[in-house]
Chains A and B, each alone.
Chain A
Amino acid sequence: MNFVASFYPQEHRTPPLPLVALIGCSELHREISDYFIQHHRPPLVFHGSNEPLEQFVARAFGPKKQSPLVGGPLPGILKADWFAKHRGKKPAMVVALVERRELDGDPSTWNRMMYGLKQLADAAGQRGAGVLVGVVQQQGQGDLPPDRVQAVSHNLTLDRRLILPLALLPPPGVAPDDPATRHVRDAALTRLGRLALELAAAYYGRLARAVADKAAARRSALGGPLPPELAARTAFKLAVYAEFRQDWATAVAHYREAYAAILAVQIGLPPRPQRWSEVCAVAELVHLKLLMLAVHQGRLEEAVAQVRAHLGHFARPKGVLPASAQGAHLGFLVRQYQVAAQEVGTHVDALPAYYTTTTTTGAAGTAAIGGGGTTSVGGGPAAAGMTGGSTTGAAGGGLMQQQLTGGGATAGMTGTGAGITGSGATGSSTIVSSASLKDCSRAHLLMAAARLAVARRQQADALRAARAGGGGALGSGSALGSGGGGAAALDTAPVRRGPYVGQLVLRNEAAQGGYSPLSDQDYLLFLESEECRLVTPAAVIDVMSSALLLLKDAPGADRLRSQLGGLMAQEHVLAGSLSSARKLLLQVCHQYRREGWLLPLLQALLSLRDVAQRLRLPAEHLCYSLEICALANQLQYKPAVLVPLYGSGGSGQHPIKFLTAGGSGAAVGDEDGGDAGGNDGNGTVSTAISEQASCCARLVDLGTAMAACRSAVQTLITGISEIKQGIMKTAPTSTDGTPAPGAGAGPGPFSPDASGLAPAPATGASGGLPRHFHYTVEHLDLREAQRRARDAGDPRPVAELMHRHTQHDYGWSRCVSLAAGFAYTRPDPDSADFYLGLFCGLPRGLPLKAVVLHFADDQGDMWVQALPGVVPPHAPPYPLLPGHIGSALDSATHSFHHLHLNTHLRQHPPPPPGADGAQPDAEPEAERTAGHAHAAGGPASTSSTSGGPGEGSATLPPQRWTHYSARLAPRCLGRLRAERAILLLSDHATVVFKLASFPPATAASAQPGVLTGPLLGGGRGGADAAAAPFRSVRSSGPTGGPAVSPGQLVLNVAHLGPLPSLSYGLPSGLALLGEHAPLLAVLEVPREGRPLVNACMEFVIGRTSGGLQPGDIVLVVDDAAGPQPGLMALNNERYRIQLPTVQPGRRYTVRLWARASAAGTAAVGAMLLCPAQVTATATLTFEEPFDFKCRMSSEVGVHTLSLPRLTSRDLGSTALTIGQPVVLTAMLRALQPAVVEVASAQVALEPGSAIRLVADPNQQLAAHGPPPGVGPPTGPGGPSQAPTSLASTLGPDPAAGPAGAAAVASGALVVAPYTRLTKSDVMTLLLPICPTELLDHPRSLGRLNIRWRRPAGHVLLPQQPAPHATASGSGSGSDAAGSSAEDGGFAGAEAGDAEGQREGEGAEGAVGEANQRGDGFVDPLAPPCPDPWVTTTLELPRVTVAESLLTARTVGPSAITTGIPFTYSLQLQNFGTTPLELMITLQDAPGFACANERSPSLSVPPRERAGVSWQLTASQPGHQLLPGVRLLAPRHNCALTTQSPHVYVQPF
Chain B
Amino acid sequence: MTIACVAFIGPQNNPMYLRSLEPASDDQYMKLHYVVHCSLDAVEEKVLLKRGPGDVQESYLGLLYPTEDYRVYGYLTNTHVKIIVLLDDEAPVKDDLVMRVMKRLHNLYVDTTSNPFHKFGMPISSPRFDAALESIVSVYPRPGGSVGGFKT
Note all chain B residues with C-beta closer than 8 A to A832: none
Question: Nearest chain A CB to B21's CB is how many angstroms away?
Answer: 9
- Counting CB contacts under 8 A, is A1397 at the interface? no
A257-315 interface (Cβ within 8 A of B): 311, 315
- Contact between chains at A596 and B115 (CB < 8 Å): no
Within 8 A of A (CB), among B66-103: 66-68
A559 CA to B33 CA, complexed, in Å: 12
Complex interface: chain B residues within 8 A of A691 (CB): 18-20, 24, 29
Choice from A555, A695, A1019 contacting B123 with Cβ under 8 Å? A1019
Q: What are the residues of chain A within 8 A of B119 when measuring CB–CB?
A: 671, 1006, 1023, 1026
The answer to whether A698 and B126 have CB atoms under 8 Å apart is no
Name A410-443 residues within 8 Å CB distance of B. Answer: 433, 435-436, 438-439, 441, 443
| A687 contacts partner chain B, Cβ-Cβ < 8 Å | yes
Give 1 or 0 for each of A987-1020: 1 = CB within 8 Å of chain B CB: 0000000000000000011100000011101111
A1302 smallest CB distance to B (angstroms): 56
Give the one of B11, B62, B123, B125 with max A CB within 10 A: B125
Chain A, Cβ-Cβ closest to B66: A439
In whole Å, how far is A765's beta carbon from the nearest beta carbon of chain B? 42
Chain A 325-361, CB-CB to B under 8 Å as 1, else 0, gives 0000000000000000000000000000100000000
In the complex, the chain A residue whose C-beta lies closest to that of B43 is: A556
Contacts of B1-60 to chain A: CB distance below 8 A: 10-20, 24, 26, 29-30, 33-34, 37-38, 40-42, 44-46, 49
A597 within 8 A of B: yes
Measured between beta carbons, the chain B residues less than 8 angstroms from A353 are 46, 49
Does A739 have its Cβ within 8 Å of any Cβ on chain B?
no
Q: Which of A489-497, A500-508, A678-686, A724-732 contacts B (4 or more CB under 8 A)?
A: A678-686
A699 and B127 CA atoms in complex are apart in Å by 24
Out of B14, B24, B134, name the residue touching A595 (CB < 8 Å).
B14
Task: Contacts A672-B115, A695-B26 given; indicate if A688 touches B66 (C-beta within 8 A).
Answer: no
For A684, the chain B residues whose CB sits under 8 A away are: 127
Tell me whether A557 is interfacial, beta carbon within 8 Å. yes
Complex CA–CA separation, A986 to B34 (angstroms):
39
Cα-based distance from A318 to B64 in the complex (angstroms): 31
Shortest C-beta distance, B15 to chain A (Å), equals 6
Whether B12 lies near A1014 (C-beta < 8 A) is: yes
Using Cβ atoms and an 8 Å threshold, which residues of chain B touch A675?
126-128
Choose one: A560, A686, A1017; the contact of B127 (CB below 8 Å).
A686
A688 touches which one: B19, B116, B118 (CB < 8 A)? B19
Are A1023 and B65 in contact, with the CB atoms below 8 A? no
**Neighbouring B residues of A603 by C-beta, 8 Å:** 30
- Given A557-B41, A600-B33, A1017-B16, check contact A672 B128 (CB 8 Å): yes
Question: What residues on A are CB-neighbors of B19 within 8 Å?
Answer: 687-688, 691
| Known contacts A433-B63, A597-B15: A1020-B125 contact under CB 8 Å | yes
Contacts of A433 in B (CB 8 A): 62-63
**B-side contacts of A1005, CB under 8 Å:** 12
Question: Which of A438, A596, A695, A1017 makes the CB contact (< 8 A) with B29?
Answer: A695
Is the CB of B117 closer than 8 A to any CB of chain A?
yes
**Cβ of A889 to closest chain B Cβ, rounded Å:** 33
User: Do A596 and B127 have beta carbons less than 8 Å apart?
Assistant: no
Assembled-state Cα–Cα distance A599/B20 (Å)? 14
* B 101-148 contacts with A by CB, 8 A: 115-130, 134
Which of A315, A439, A686, A692 is in CB contact (< 8 Å) with B126?
Answer: A686
Q: Which of B11, B29, B65 is in CB contact (< 8 Å) with A435?
A: B65
| Cβ-defined contact, A438 with B66, below 8 A | yes
Which residues of B are found within 8 Å of A741, using beta-carbon distances? none
Determine the interface band of chain A, counting residues with CB < 8 A from chain B: 35 or more
Tell me the complex Cα distance, A1351–B13, Å.
Answer: 78
A894 contacts the other chain (CB 8 A): no
CB pair B42–A556 under 8 Å, yes or no, is yes
Q: How far is the CA of A914 from the CA of B149 in the complex (A)?
A: 79
Check A448–B68 contact: CB distance below 8 A.
Answer: yes
Closest chain-A Cβ to B99's Cβ sits at a distance in Å of 14
Bound-complex Cα distance A692 to B33 (A)? 10
In the bound complex, how far is the Cα of B64 from the Cα of A443, in angstroms? 14
Q: Which residue of A lies closest to B11 (CB)?
A: A1004
Q: Which of B30, B42, B49, B126 touches A599 (beta carbons < 8 Å)?
A: B30
- A945 contacts B by Cβ under 8 Å: no
Decide: A559 and B41 in contact? CB cutoff 8 A: yes
Q: Which residues in A have their C-beta under 8 angstroms from that of B37?
A: 559, 563, 595, 597, 600
A685, B15: Cα distance in complex, Å: 18
Find chain A residues with CB under 8 A from B14 CB: 595-597, 1014-1015, 1017-1018
Enumerate chain A residues within 8 angstroms of B41, measured Cβ to Cβ.
443, 556-560
Chain B residues positioned under 8 Å from A439 (CB to CB): 65-68
Q: Are B123 and A1017 in contact, with the CB atoms below 8 A?
A: yes
| Known interface pairs A435-B65, A699-B26; A1017-B33 also in contact (CB < 8 Å) | no
> Which A residues lie within 8 Å of B118 (CB)?
671-672
B88 CB to closest chain A CB (Å) equals 14
Given contacts A439-B67, A556-B45, A557-B41, contact A595 B12 (CB under 8 A): yes
Complex formed: what's the CA distance from A596 to B129 in Å?
Answer: 21
B18/A563 in contact, CB under 8 A: no
Query: From A556, which residue of chain B is reached at the shortest CB distance?
Result: B45
* Mask of A654-678 contacts with B, CB within 8 angstroms, 1/0: 0000000000000000111101000
Proximity bits, A593-632, B CB within 8 Å = 1, else 0: 0011111100100000000000000000000000000000
Is A444 on the interface with B (CB-CB < 8 A)?
Answer: yes
A1006 touches B121 (CB 8 A): yes
Contact partner of B12 among A558, A596, A692, CB < 8 A? A596
Q: Give chain B residues whose Cβ lies under 8 Å from the Cβ of A1018.
A: 14-15, 123
| A438-B65, A687-B19, A1006-B121 given; A671·B126 CB < 8 A | yes
Name the residue in B33, B115, B118, B134 with the highest tally of chain A Cβ atoms < 10 Å from its Cβ. B33
B29 partner residues in chain A, CB cutoff 8 A: 599, 691, 695
Residue pair B122, A1017 in contact (C-beta under 8 Å): yes
Report if A688-B46 is in contact (Cβ < 8 Å); known contacts: A436-B63, A673-B115, A1014-B10: no
- Closest B residue to A668 by beta carbon equals B127
Alpha-carbon separation in the docked complex, A435 to B15 (Å)? 23
Over the window 1097-1127 of chain A, the binary record of Cβ atoms lying under 8 Å from chain B Cβ atoms (1 yes, 0 no) is 0000000000000000000000000000000
In the bound complex, CA of A596 to CA of B121 (Å)? 11
> In the complex, how many angstroms separate the beta carbon of B149 from the nearest chain A beta carbon?
27
When chains A and B are docked, how far (Å) is the Cα of A692 from the Cα of B49? 33
Q: When A435-B42, A556-B41 are in contact, do A599 and B33 touch as well, CB less than 8 Å? A: yes
Contacts of A557 in B (CB 8 A): 41
CA distance A684 to B127 in the complex (A): 7
Residue of B nearest to A676 (CB): B127
Q: How far is the CB of A1002 from chain B (nearest CB, A)?
A: 11
Task: Determine the chain B residues whose CB is within 8 A of the CB of A438 once the complex forms.
Answer: 42, 64-66
**Chain B minimum-CB-distance residue to A596:** B14
- Chain B contacts of A560 at CB under 8 A? 38, 41
Q: Is A1022 located at the chain interface by the 8 A CB criterion?
A: yes
Minimum C-beta distance from A556 to chain B (A):
4
Q: Which residues of B have CB within 8 Å of A679?
A: 127
A144 at interface, CB cutoff 8 A: no
Please, which residues of chain A bring their CB within 8 A of the CB of B116? 673
- How many Å lie between the Cα of A1023 and that of B124 in the bound state? 9
Alpha-carbon separation in the docked complex, A555 to B19 (Å): 28
Q: Are A600 and B117 in contact (CB under 8 A)?
A: no
Interface centre among B17, B19, B123 (most CB of A within 10 A): B123
Q: What are some 9 contacts across the A-B interface (CB < 8 A)?
A: A444-B65, A559-B37, A559-B41, A672-B118, A684-B127, A686-B125, A1014-B121, A1015-B14, A1023-B119
The residues of B with any CB-CB pair to A shorter than 8 Å are 10-20, 24, 26, 29-30, 33-34, 37-38, 40-42, 44-46, 49, 62-68, 115-130, 134
**Beyond known contacts A439-B66, A596-B14: 4 more, CB 8 A cutoff:** A600-B30, A686-B125, A1022-B122, A1023-B119
Top 8 closest pairs, chain A to chain B, by CB:
A438-B65, A596-B14, A556-B45, A688-B19, A1006-B121, A439-B66, A673-B117, A595-B13
